[in-house]
Chain A
Amino acid sequence: QVQLQESGPGLVKPSETLSLTCNVSGYSIRSGYYWGWIRQPPGKGLEWIGSVYHSGSIFYNPSLKSRVIISVDPSNNQFSLKLTSVTAADTALYYCARDEQGNWASDYWGRGTLVTVTS
């Protein structure tokens, strides 16, 4: 059974860097698929952040591209999100997910982790 679990600080100060990790179990990242991040600010819709292949191929949301780094660590079977220069607008429930190549549907998701940007 494929499982994804997000982890990271629940509180981040404005202007600092938000860092989250998604640990994958039940499937080897090296075996394929893209691995991505999605977020939902309180009271707003879902926003796709980006996704990465184990070889390093990456797609980013252009609206966040200047502040986002998504990386993959196949040796630990995990992937990460870094979002720099955060503001209150980055407060959100952050999900990690596995994306199927071709149709790009996210077939497995984590439960999400709430990150609040506050001083």
Chain B
Amino acid sequence: DIQMTQSPSSLSASVGDRVTITCRASQSIRHYLNWYQRKPGKAPKLLIYSASNLEGGVPSRFSGSGSETGFTLTISSLQPEDFATYYCQQTYNTPRTFGQGTKLEIK
């Protein structure tokens, strides 16, 4: 299985901050990397697909980059509704695997 390693596992930040979350794959996954946001009691939300493509309806302050084994999710200016847990996922092959998550908290 491809191992996905996210860092940091938790992060404290303030409204307006620029935040970057990193995801590394144990082998090349080309561009098959997705990012999700999850809030308690709500359905997880797809933010970025194929490493850098913004899902429809997702604010432009979210962006993704990277390829092969290294990827980042950046939130350019944190808003109150962005405090949540973020997960990366590789879909290069099965089983599709997730990072362990990054919990973004209010400082």
Q: Judge: A and B partners, yes or no.
A: yes
Across chains A and B, which 4 residue pairs bring their CB atoms closest together, nearest first? A104-B91, A105-B49, A46-B98, A61-B95
Q: How far, in whole Å, are A112 and B38 apart by their CA atoms in the complex? A: 11
Chain B: interface residue count, which band? 20 to 34
CA distance A100 to B48 in the complex (A): 13
Complex contact A103–B95 (CB within 8 A): no
Which residue from B87, B91, B98 sits with its C-beta under 8 Å from A103? Answer: B91
- C-alpha gap A45/B44 in the complex (Å): 14
A108–B43 touching, CB < 8 Å: yes
Taking CB atoms, residues of chain A closer than 8 Å to B100 are 45
Q: How many A-B residue pairs have CB under 8 A?
A: 60
Chain A residues with a Cβ under 8 A of chain B? 4, 45-48, 59-63, 95, 97, 100, 103-112
Given contacts A95-B43, A100-B49, A105-B49, 11 further A-B contacts (CB under 8 A): A45-B100, A46-B89, A47-B98, A60-B94, A63-B95, A103-B49, A104-B32, A105-B46, A106-B46, A107-B46, A111-B41
Interface string of B80-92 (1 = CB under 8 A from A): 0000000101010
In the complex, 6 of the A-B residue pairs with CB atoms within 8 angstroms, ordered by the A residue number, are A63-B95, A95-B44, A104-B91, A105-B55, A108-B43, A110-B43
Which residues of chain A come closer than 8 Å to B96, judged between CB atoms?
Answer: 48, 104
CA of A104 to CA of B44, assembled, Å: 15
CB–CB A103/B94 < 8 A: no
Report the nearest B residue to A96, measured CB to CB: B43
Q: Is B107 an interface residue, CB under 8 A from the partner?
A: no
